Amino acid sequence: MRSVAEVREYLSRARRAGRTIGLVPTMGALHAGNISLMEKARGQCDVLAVTIFVNPLQFGPNEDYQRYPRNLERDLEACERVGVDVVFAPAFEALYVSEQKIFIEITQLADHLCGPFRPGHFRGVATVVAKLFNVIQPDTAYFGEKDYQQLCIIRKMVEDLNLPIEIVPVATYREPDGLALSSRNVYLEPEGREAAPTLFRALSSARKMIEDGEKDVAVIKESSAWILDAESHIRPEYFEIVDPVNLQPVTEIAGEVRIAGAVWIGKTRLIDNVSAVPRQGG
């Protein structure tokens, strides 16, 4: 479906019939990670809606909006295999009917991790997700943990704006060598693809140090930096250990944390994260 009115009418009939509606927002170029979200939603909802929209508001002036991979025909086939009930794939004008003057403002949660490196990104993400929530009006919405900062921001937006939507996190889907699936992985040259799992190895090493009892964040980050710096194809952007709720950096491990990193491989930016919990009594 292409128009807001069309998809609203379809879903309003389902809502009146007492059917629950689940939403998986995507930017298309669907991969196994997206499919895992859909499959989880399919098992929990009566009606499954997927949105496919490459949102220009969340791309910076020097980012990859124009070359972001798009293949709607293949995406629709993937949705059909999962049993998606409705795909909302609007044109830009359907969601942005005039010049956008109202945006979702984010404080604190965008201060670290990807926020400083992508100014305006999360404002664009939150604004378009709010639009999609208003169009679809789902009971539940599914977001992958790979984009953990995004997940936290959307969860807080729902809480702060009193939206009657349950946000369901879905574990990161990985290749056998640990690389988190992303639509941008298709940009990687063979040498870059071979180097890409290094980020996950650095994250996993930091997690093991925490689980083994290391509490000094500086020591953990220094050890992980050695892993990243040893791979010549990788240019680290950030590697941080933060509180899993407010996303503020910590200096000492006192409980569960989220370890997150971003690297550049050529012109491709990859992000990943893992959770870490210190050992009992450690």
> What is the pLDDT at residue 242?
98
Q: Is 281 left (phi over 0), alpha (psi -120 to 50) or beta?
A: left
**Whose structure tokens read 């989220």?**
258
Residues 6+ positions from 233 with CB-CB distance below 8 Å: 191, 192, 194, 195, 265, 266
pLDDT of residue 42: 98
With beta carbons less than 8 A apart as the criterion, state whether 168 and 143 touch: yes
Checking if the pLDDT of 281 tops 90, the result is no
Tokens linked to 139:
């009971």
The tens digit of pLDDT for each residue in 85-129 reads: 999 999 999 999 999 999 999 999 999 999 999 999 999 999 999
pLDDT attached to residue 280: 77
Burial class for 266, CB neighbours closer than 10 Å (0-12, 13-18, 19+): middle
In the chain the domains, ranked by start, together with CATH numbers, are 4-170 (3.40.50.620), 183-273 (3.30.1300.10)
- The token duo for 105 is 């403002």
Q: What is the largest CA-CA distance in the chain?
A: 58
Taking only the tens place, the pLDDT of each residue in 172-224 is: 999 999 999 999 999 999 999 999 999 999 999 999 999 999 999 999 999 99
Residue 259: pLDDT over 70:
yes
The Cα–Cα gap between 143 and 163 comes to: 16
Rg (CA), the chain: 19
So what's the pLDDT on residue 282?
45
